[in-house]
Structure 1
Amino acid sequence: MRFVPLSATSATSRPANTRSFAAFLHNLVRDQFTLGTWLLLGAAAQSLLILLPLRPTYVVVPTFTLLLLQLLDTISVSMGWRRNSYLDGTIGTKVTALLPQPDGSFNARAPDSDSGKVAVLLLGFRTNHPLGILSPGSREIGTHFNGMVKDLETNAATNGFLGSTSYLGNSRTTKSELMTTFYFRSLANVEAFAHGPVHREGWNWWNATVKEHRHLAICHEVYEAPHGAWENVYVNYHATGMGATVHKVQDDEGQEKWVGPLVLAERGPLSTHKGRTHI
């Protein structure tokens, strides 16, 4: 049984990661302070403006003008008078992510297929310090982590790496946990990465300095699921998690290409949980 891919497009080179560094940096900086602190910073800025030799009207009007513009924009989008930019990048249908066959097609696998397994690595970090990401050791951890991700993406053609997605936790109101989910073809690929030179360098740094940085916290979890023991579904969602991975395949002419894993799941066997786990 063949399944319909969301898009027939493919690339001869691995697509660049679509993560927005600007959005990531914005969210990370915003997370360093509580809502109360941000309000106090705004109030302090407003107080400083009052000290300027300006008429009070010139000081307060910009703030209320910007607030009014944001309110009008929200009303316009909610009423359908203006395009909803929040829908940008979303997929307006029901899809699921499958592992493509070596030739790039999406066919049902044999029940005893060993090629349909997936390994997941969760890496978590947070700082328990009032300075947050400016605390001692945080910059070094960020440098090692970025080096690991770059190494994985650069060598994805041979190391079994499929992709990753990062999230901010909600267990506290500020300086939240940063969790990244990595997808691999097998547990063996995860272990090879863990014992590789780039990860080993970060590992050695941590072991040598962990006693000096009691405020730094890291964790990892690793899971491997065989064929038929994992599934996913996305409805009106954006490409994330397993849906944001890319896979190296070889077409009929022997040319290597990279394809995405999303296929339509509105009807047929892929429309149900049972169907998605028994293909």
Structure 2
Amino acid sequence: MAKVIPGRQMAQIEGPFVVFIIGARINKWYAVHKWLPVLRSMGPMLQELYTNKELGFLDASFFMTGRGVSIVQYWRSYDQLEHYARGKANHLTAWKNFNRKARSGEAVGIYHETYMVENGAYESIYVNMPPTGMGRAGSLNPVGSGRESSRERAGLGGAGQGEPSPDLPTS
């Protein structure tokens, strides 16, 4: 289990990066032969990514829903994400299998969203948390002066509109 870092931290990732969200939704529970292979295909791909950091993969977090799973991935660049999606054996095999099997019915759905994040165009806060999300993909640093509010951490200036910052009190 990851060690909790006491106090307020914020994530830092140098340069632009990509947030890629991918998920599968089980639409027909009884069609296990359709959705189970889709869910199982993520393990080998993620193992390959964690083993080969030169591919541009930074980290991933898993989220279970009532009907499936979503994975938030962090990548160094869109080009590296696309290169992996189109060129690596584990992904191509899973993609081909999904297209061949799952598209023949509605038993399982799959989605993805891709966000290109410019250098410094993000904000985060972690209070009494282990490294999580962007804080695990990049680095965690204590919240310092001038970074107390979400607006300040996002590089947008003070609390804005004359309103006080609703952020958590300092530790």
- TM-score tier by shorter-chain length is 0.7 to 0.9
Runs of 4+ in 1 over 6 A off after TM superposition: none
Once superposed, what is the RMSD of the aligned Cα atoms?
2.2
Say whether 1:142 aligns with 2:39.
yes
The 5 Å alignment of 1:47-58 reads none
Q: Give the SS at the match of 2:19.
A: strand
Could you tell me how far 1:238 is from its partner in structure 2?
Answer: 3.0
- 2:24 counterpart of 1:125: yes
The residue type paired with residue 215 of structure 1 is: A
Consecutive unaligned residues of structure 2, counting only runs of 5 or more, are 157-171
Q: Which has the higher contact order (CA 8 A, sep 6+)?
A: 2
Offset at residue 137 of structure 1 (A): 2.3
Distance 1:202 1:155 in 2: 18
Contact 2:13/2:134 (<8 A) preserved: no
Number of residue pairs aligned between Structure 1 and Structure 2:
155
For 1:192, the equivalent position in structure 2 comes to 83
CA distance in 1, matches of 2:91, 2:100: 14
Higher Cα Rg, which structure = 1
Is the strand fraction higher in 1 or 2? 2
Q: Which residue of 2 is the match for residue 70 of structure 1? A: none
State the 1:199 CA deviation.
1.2
Query: 1:238 — aligned with what?
Result: 130
Give the Cα separation in 2 of the matches to 1:233 and 1:278.
14
TM-score, with structure 2 as normaliser = 0.80
Structure 1 residue 89, shift from structure 2 partner: 4.0
Quick one: which amino acid aligns to residue 92 of structure 2? R
1:276 equivalent in structure 2: 153
2: CA distance, partners of 1:135 / 1:147: 19
Aligned to 2:73: 182
Letter in 1 for 2:17: V
Give the deviation of 1:186 after TM superposition.
Answer: 1.3
Measured after TM superposition, the shift of residue 270 of structure 1 is: 3.0
TM (norm. structure 1) is: 0.51
CA contact (8 A) 1:194 1:200 kept: yes
